[in-house]
């Protein structure tokens, strides 16, 4: 329902016709050249003031116009009006206000949009609507309503819009349009749609007025488009009564009414059908339009010139009155139509048809939806694949650089760790140097060496090092990789739905995790390699240090023994030891150089105090608890081990043995077999300060010198490093070229003395091939581990404790090695204290290692044991053919062996200290020694086994670590060298 209102009145001013235009005044000016030469323009003169017409409509705005406005130009006003008495109003000058005013330039579309179009919505909602044109003849009513083919009027424009709206509602409504066209002329109604000649009722068609006004018998047409309506209107106009007027040659002289009935019913019809009806266009027919149940628009057409002065004035006055017409409350034209039963079938069929159509549409719509969904998923999958591919490509591009950076970072971290330790130790050394006048030679050498070792590490850790540059490059690559992952995972795309987006994000996170894993693995590999390298170096150093320690203790013991013996052998012993230790140091340095790439000797400081005098010990942990190099005011003190302190307490030049506990004790924890023999030496026994322990233990033991007296040969001990070939050959278990060089030592070194006190075999061999690993590095750990610990109740236990000098054991091992019977070779007759012939024909036994301890005492071919007073002598050098003799302990059959008998003995000399000459005689005399072990028939005890310590590599391996003691005269050698098979320092 629309609230009550009034008729909308719009005024359209048509343009002047060509006839009128020629009669309107034209603005002219009179110009002339004055006498002074100036151009003179006079106001318009009354040269055109005789124009018969003038404009009487002045448009103020789109709603206001002035009829017959006052002329501002007085001269022109005088011309127009002539002389008028004062007080007389010369102009109407009346102002009118309407709902809309169109000037002569308004187009048909402008008029349509502001008048008819708003009514169409109401029409389709069931409200009546009327548009009619009003005005004098020739003022433009036909032009506004009908128009021309080239410029169609409101009928065509309205119908075109109506059919468009109907088309838009066709899915929901069934809309029926019926058109009638009639003419009212001389109070008679004539149907314009009937064929000419069709009989019409007398007086024209009749009007039947009920609730509505309806003309009976009108031809109704159902156009389907605006063009059909246009054709209908054209046809009807051609049938109108026309008669020219003075104002319009084609004046219609009648009223034409085009009625458009629109009936609209919803497609979802029920038993009752609700229909809305609207009707468009006069006289009685406009009864409901002018004040009835209708929305009405009145278009007032006027002429602009004074030619239609009165008509225009009357029209405007009438139109103004029309604006004051109040309409009723407009209601919808809604009727409920009760269907006949017979119509149900029709409705059902129509509904079924509609249902099937809708089903088809729905199915098609579903197919379309399915296709769209499938296409969308394919596009999403393609987008996901593209994103993953982008990340994979970037990962493959960046991974080498990133992983390389992780490796480099690991190496830098390792270098920093090394440098930290080195600096800590250097800080300790510097602190010690600052407290004392000068560092001892060993400490100064250590400091120089550590500084040399720190140099490469500092090069590595500095910011612009090659490794750090690679780390920085890797960080950049890592950042780019992260940015790529972030950009791809956050990429905005209409093709990616929620799940596809999560898929891409998960892939990005997986890529990141994979990259982190690769970095961790690279870092791990670097650390693992570093640990392996360090472990190799540490193992080598352990061997080097431990063996050197043992050798030093041996040298100390030898010196101590020589000191106890008196000055006779002390000088020679010291000289020999000096030479041997020098060779050991050289070999040691060679090994060290091969291991770390630096020669200790090159850093040795000769002018510094003796390292032995000022030796205090070694740092154990380098102040591991400290966070870095010692920078505190309190310098870190090197940790001095208990054992080292005992060394340090020894007076310079005094026998190192004095006052110190057996240094071998400290080795027990690391090398059990090596420590085992020294357990035999008790503190009690040490308290006796025996020069040679075996004599005191035996109580009656003497060196059986065979009456030869003291040896006259100058004791000498030489540790030499053979050439590589010799070293290699010596390291081979089995016959080699060195066998021929050292026959005497091989045969003669195997004594029953040794057999008696050695039942266990202890082989220590460092074998380095390409690398030192568990498979090739055999510290004879198996022998160590597998050998059952001897019970104290087991006689072999005592034997297992017995051990000779390490230096000599090396020589023994060499001999055994060269004989091809390295460990378990039973001792044969030739190895039993065979007395060499005076001519030295028994060279194999007469040539002795000066450090070789006699292996026992034996009877010569079963001769009864003969006690021969013997003076223990340490023979460090024997002339060729000399023979060591063991005078240790009583014979086995005489009394149980004591532990003290297992104390290693050095080479025996005769009572007079003469170890030169016929060794066989010495040995003969020693047969009767109180502690000899009887060996019947010169055969070895089957229970005896050879005790050996070998630091040689296996026969098939290259010699990388070996120890040999070589006595030039005896063709035996002891050498010690550490080297890696690849000759590359293992520090880095």
Q: Is 140 annotated as a binding-site member?
A: yes
Nearer to ligand ATP, 140 or 840 (CB): 140
Residue (305 or 716) nearer to ligand ATP, CB: 305
Instruction: In whole angstroms, give the CA distance from residue 986 to residue 771.
Output: 10
Under rule CB under 6 A, residue 809 binds ligand ATP: no
d(CA 535, CA 772): 9
User: Taking the complex as a whole, how short is the minimal distance between the CB of residue 26 and ligand ATP, in angstroms?
Assistant: 21
Q: Is 451 in the site for ligand ATP (CB under 6 A)?
A: no
661 is in an annotated binding site: no
Q: How far is the CB of 185 from ligand ATP (least distance, A)?
A: 12
Q: How many residues bind ligand ATP (CB under 6 A)?
A: 17
Q: Is 983 annotated as a binding residue?
A: no
Q: How many residues make up the chain in this entry? A: 988
Closest approach, Cβ 30 to ligand ATP, in A, equals: 34
Whether 115 has a binding-site annotation, put simply, is no
Of 15 and 648, nearer to ligand ATP (C-beta) is 15
Segment interacting with ligand ATP, rule: CB under 6 A, options 137-145, 386-394, 398-406, 439-447: 137-145
Q: Is 152 in the site for ligand ATP (CB under 6 A)?
A: no
In the bound complex, what is the minimum distance in angstroms from residue 115's beta carbon to ligand ATP?
14
CA atoms of 482 and 733, how far apart (whole Å) = 61
Q: How far is the CB of 141 from ligand ATP (least distance, A)?
A: 4
Q: Which helix (H) or strand (E) holds 64?
A: strand 64-67
CB of 299 to ligand ATP, least distance (A): 11
Q: How far is CA 270 from the centre of its chain?
A: 69
CB 138 to ligand ATP: min, Å = 4
Q: Is 987 helix (H, G, I), strand (E, B) or coil?
A: coil
Part in contact with ligand ATP (CB under 6 A); list of ranges 9-17, 70-78, 157-165, 383-391: 9-17
Stretch that binds ligand ATP, among 138-146, 312-320, 400-408, 661-669 (CB under 6 A): 138-146
- Cβ closest to ligand ATP, residue 302 vs residue 708: 302
Task: Please check if 130 is assigned to a binding site.
Answer: no
Structure tokens at 486: 């972030």
> Which of these ranges, 11-19, 384-392, 710-718, 892-900, lies near ligand ATP under the rule CB under 6 A?
11-19
In the complex with ligand ATP, which residue's Cβ is closer, 242 or 397? 242
Among 142, 387, 749, 926, binds ligand ATP (CB under 6 A): 142
Do 561 and 906 meet the contact criterion of CB atoms below 8 Å apart? yes
φ, ψ for residue 698 (rounded to 5)?
A: -70, -25
Given candidates 15, 735, 820, 985, which one binds ligand ATP under the rule CB under 6 A? 15
Query: Distance between CA 170 and CA 176 in Å, rounded?
Result: 11
Q: Which residues pair with 39 in a beta bridge?
A: 33
The nearer residue to ligand ATP, 281 or 859, going by C-beta atoms, is 281
| Nearer Cβ to ligand ATP (137/599) | 137
Task: Classify 456 as helix, strand or coil.
Answer: helix
CA R_g for the chain: 67
The interface mask with ligand ATP, positions 269-308, x = CB under 6 A, is --------------------------------x-------
Give the relative orientation of helices 341-435 and 498-565 as an angle to the nearest 10 degrees.
20
Among 16, 126, 135, 869, binds ligand ATP (CB under 6 A): 135
What is the closest distance, in whole angstroms, from the C-beta atom of residue 198 to ligand ATP in the complex? 24
Q: Please, which residue, 245 or 331, has the CB nearer to ligand ATP?
A: 245
Give the list of residues 6+ apart from residue 36 with CB closer than 8 angstroms, or none: none
Asked if 791 interacts with ligand ATP (CB under 6 A), we say no
State the minimum distance, in angstroms, from the CB of residue 358 to ligand ATP.
49
Classify burial at 327, counting beta carbons within 10 Å of its beta carbon; exposed 0-12, middle 13-18, buried 19 or more: buried
C-alpha–C-alpha distance, residues 665 and 549, integer Å: 11
Residue 186's Cβ-side half-sphere holds a number of Cα atoms within 13 Å equal to: 5
The CA dihedral of 251, 255, 256, 259, to the nearest 10 degrees, is: 160
- Name which position in 54, 94, 117, 143 contacts ligand ATP (CB under 6 A): 143
Q: Which of 9, 10, 57, 139 binds ligand ATP (CB under 6 A)?
A: 139
Terminal Cα-to-Cα distance of the chain (whole angstroms): 101
**Residue whose CB is less far from ligand ATP, 20 or 815:** 20
**252 token code pair:** 């219609």
Residue 42, strand partner residues: 30
Q: Rounded distance, CA 640 to CA 648, Å?
A: 10
Please state the closest distance from residue 243 (CB atom) to ligand ATP, in A.
9
Closest contact distance (angstroms) between CB of 132 and ligand ATP is 12
User: Which one of the spans 10-18, 269-277, 305-313, 511-519 is the region binding ligand ATP (CB under 6 A)?
Assistant: 10-18
Whose tokens are 């039963």? That residue is 341
Q: How far apart are CA 513 and CA 241, in angstroms?
A: 95
Does residue 392 touch ligand ATP according to CB under 6 A? Answer: no
Member of 49, 137, 274, 646 binding ligand ATP (CB under 6 A)? 137
Nearer to ligand ATP, 15 or 828 (CB): 15
Residue 15 C-beta: closest distance to ligand ATP, Å: 5
- Give the phi and the psi of residue 96 in degrees, each rounded to 5: -120, 145
Q: For ligand ATP, which residue of 115, 252, 720, 745 counts as binding (CB under 6 A)?
A: 252
Instruction: Please report, for residues 452, 596, 613, 631, 858, the alpha-carbon distance to residue 428 in angstroms, rounded to integers and kept in the order given.
Output: 16, 21, 19, 10, 57
236 labelled ligand-binding = no
Which strand (E) or helix (H) includes residue 266?
strand 255-266
- Alpha-carbon distance of 914 to 873, in angstroms, equals 9
- Distant-in-sequence, close-in-space partners of 459: CB < 8 Å, separation ≥ 6: 465
Q: In what order do the strands lie in the sheet with 295-302?
A: 100-102, 8-13, 295-302, 129-135
Instruction: Tell me: does residue 120 bind ligand ATP (CB under 6 A).
Output: no
Map the footprint of ligand ATP across residues 835-874, applying CB under 6 A. Answer: none
Chain CA centroid to CA 665, Å: 55
142 is in an annotated binding site: yes
Cβ distance to ligand ATP smaller for residue 15 or 292: 15
Check residue 140 for interaction with ligand ATP (CB under 6 A). Answer: yes
- Binding mask 222-251 vs ligand ATP (x if CB under 6 A, - otherwise)? -----------------------x--x-xx
The binder of ligand ATP chosen from 141, 657, 885, 932 (CB under 6 A) = 141
Closest separation between CB of residue 12 and ligand ATP, Å?
7
Q: Which is nearer to ligand ATP, 192 or 550 (CB)?
A: 192
Question: Three-state secondary structure along 524-570?
Answer: HHHHHHHHHHHHHHHHHHHHHHHHHHHHHHHHHHHHHHHHHHCHHHH
CA distance 670 to 784: 11
Question: What's the closest the beta carbon of residue 241 comes to ligand ATP, in angstroms?
Answer: 11
Please tell me whether 278 is known to bind a ligand: no
DSSP letters, 323-355, are TTPBP--B---EEEEEPPHHHHHHHHHHHHHHH
Give the other-Cβ count within 10 Å of 734's Cβ.
15
Q: Select the residue interacting with ligand ATP from 14, 511, 593, 680 (CB under 6 A).
A: 14
Contact stretch for ligand ATP (CB under 6 A) within 141-149, 332-340, 489-497, 771-779: 141-149
Annotated binding-site members for ATP: 135-142
Annotated binding-site members: 135-142
Q: Give the binding site for ligand ATP (CB under 6 A).
A: 14-15, 17, 135, 137-143, 245, 248, 250-252, 301
């Amino acid at each position: 329902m629309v609230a009550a209102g009034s008729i909308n009145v719009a005024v359209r001013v048509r343009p002047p016709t060509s006839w009128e235009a020629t009669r309107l005044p034209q603005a002219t000016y009179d110009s002339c050249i004055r006498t002074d030469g100036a151009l003179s323009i006079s106001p318009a003169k009354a040269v055109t003031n005789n124009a018969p017409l003038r404009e009487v409509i002045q448009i103020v705005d789109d709603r206001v116009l002035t009829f017959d406005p006052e002329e501002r130009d007085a001269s022109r006003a005088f011309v127009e009006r002539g002389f008028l008495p004062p007080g007389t109003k010369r102009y109407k000058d009346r102002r009118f206000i309407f709902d809309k005013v169109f000037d002569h330039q308004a187009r048909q579309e402008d008029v349509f949009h502001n008048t008819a179009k708003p009514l169409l919505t109401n029409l389709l909602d069931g409200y009546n609507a009327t548009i009619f044109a009003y005005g004098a003849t020739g003022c433009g009513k036909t032009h506004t309503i009908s128009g021309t083919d080239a410029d169609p009027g409101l009928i065509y424009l309205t119908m075109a819009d109506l059919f468009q709206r109907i088309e838009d509602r066709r899915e929901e409504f069934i809309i029926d349009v019926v058109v009638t066209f009639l003419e009212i002329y001389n109070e008679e109604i004539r149907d314009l749609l009937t064929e000419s000649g069709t009989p019409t009722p007398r007086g024209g068609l009749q009007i039947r007025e009920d609730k509505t006004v309806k003309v009976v018998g009108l031809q109704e047409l159902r156009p389907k488009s605006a063009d059909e309506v246009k054709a209908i209107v054209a046809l009807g106009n051609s049938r109108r009564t026309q008669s020219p007027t003075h104002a319009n040659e084609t004046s219609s002289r009648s009223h034409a009414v085009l009625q458009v009935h629109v009936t609209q019913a919803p497609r979802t019809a029920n038993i009752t059908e609700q229909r809305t009806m609207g009707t468009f266009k006069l006289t009685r027919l406009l009864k409901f339009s002018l004040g009835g149940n209708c929305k009405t628009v009145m278009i007032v057409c006027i002429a602009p010139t004074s030619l239609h002065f009165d008509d225009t004035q009357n029209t405007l006055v009438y139109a103004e009155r029309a604006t004051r017409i109040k309409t009723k409350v407009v209601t919808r034209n809604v009727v409920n139509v009760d269907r006949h039963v017979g119509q149900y079938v029709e409705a059902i069929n129509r509904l079924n048809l509609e249902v099937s159509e809708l089903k088809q549409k729905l199915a098609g719509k579903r197919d379309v939806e399915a296709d769209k969904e499938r296409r969308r998923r394919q596009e999403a999958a393609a987008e996901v694949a593209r994103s993953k591919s982008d990340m994979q490509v970037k990962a493959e591009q960046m991974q080498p650089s990133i992983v390389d950076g992780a490796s480099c970072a690991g190496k830098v971290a390792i270098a920093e760790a090394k440098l930290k330790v080195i600096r800590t130790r250097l800080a300790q050394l510097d602190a010690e140097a600052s407290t004392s006048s000068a560092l001892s030679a060993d400490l100064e050498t250590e400091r120089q060496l550590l500084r040399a070792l720190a140099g490469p590490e500092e090069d590595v850790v500095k910011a612009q090092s090659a490794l750090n540059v690679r780390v920085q490059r890797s960080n950049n690559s890592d950042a780019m990789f992260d940015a790529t992952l972030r950009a791809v995972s956050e990429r905005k795309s209409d093709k990616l739905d929620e799940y596809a987006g999560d898929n891409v994000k998960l892939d990005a996170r997986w890529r990141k995790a994979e990259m982190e894993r690769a970095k961790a693995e690279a870092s791990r590999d670097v650390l693992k390699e570093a640990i392996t390298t360090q472990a190799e170096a540490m193992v080598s150093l352990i061997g080097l240090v431990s063996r050197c320690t043992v050798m030093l203790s041996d040298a100390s013991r030898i010196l101590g023994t020589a000191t106890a013996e008196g000055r006779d052998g002390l000088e020679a012993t010291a000289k020999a030891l000096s030479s041997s230790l020098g060779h050991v140091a050289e070999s040691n340095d060679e090994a060290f150089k091969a291991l770390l790439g630096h020669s200790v000797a090159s850093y040795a400081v000769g002018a510094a105090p003796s390292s032995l005098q000022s030796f205090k010990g070694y740092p154990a942990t380098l102040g591991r608890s400290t966070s870095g190099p010692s920078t505190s005011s309190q310098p870190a003190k090197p940790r001095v081990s208990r054992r080292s302190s005992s060394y340090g307490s020894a007076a310079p030049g005094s026998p190192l043995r004095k006052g110190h506990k057996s240094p071998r004790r400290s080795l027990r924890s690391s090398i059990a077999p090596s420590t085992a023999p020294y357990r035999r030496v008790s503190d009690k026994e040490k308290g006796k300060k025996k020069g040679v322990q075996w004599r005191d233990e035996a109580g009656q033991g003497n060196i059986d010198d065979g009456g030869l007296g003291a040896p006259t040969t100058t004791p000498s001990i030489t540790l030499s490093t053979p050439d590589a070939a010799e070293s290699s050959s010596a390291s081979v278990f089995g016959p080699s070229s060195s066998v021929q060089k050292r026959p005497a030592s091989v045969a003669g070194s195997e004594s029953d003395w040794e057999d008696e006190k050695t039942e266990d075999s202890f082989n220590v061999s460092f074998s380095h091939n390409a690398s030192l690993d568990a498979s090739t590095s055999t510290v004879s750990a198996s022998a160590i581990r597998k050998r059952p610990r001897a019970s104290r109740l087991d006689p072999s236990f005592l034997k297992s404790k017995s051990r000779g000098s390490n230096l000599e054991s090396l020589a023994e091992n060499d001999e055994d090695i060269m004989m091809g019977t390295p460990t378990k070779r039973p001792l044969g007759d030739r190895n039993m204290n065979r007395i060499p012939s005076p001519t030295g024909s028994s060279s194999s036994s007469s040539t002795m290692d000066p450090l070789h301890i006699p292996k026992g005492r034996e009877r010569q071919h079963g001769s009864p044991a003969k006690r021969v007073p013997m003076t223990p002598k340490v023979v460090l050098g024997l002339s060729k053919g000399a023979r060591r003799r063991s005078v240790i302990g009583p014979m086995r059959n005489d009394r149980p062996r004591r532990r003290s008998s297992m104390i290693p003995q050095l080479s025996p000399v005769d009572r007079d200290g003469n170890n030169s000459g016929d060794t066989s005689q010495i040995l003969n005399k020693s047969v009767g020694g109180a502690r000899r072990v009887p060996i019947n028939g010169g055969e070895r005890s089957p229970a005896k086994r050879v005790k050996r310590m070998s630091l040689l590599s296996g026969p098939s391996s290259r010699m990388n670590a070996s120890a040999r003691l070589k006595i030039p005269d005896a063709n035996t050698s002891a050498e010690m060298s550490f080297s890696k098979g690849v000759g590359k320092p293992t520090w880095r």
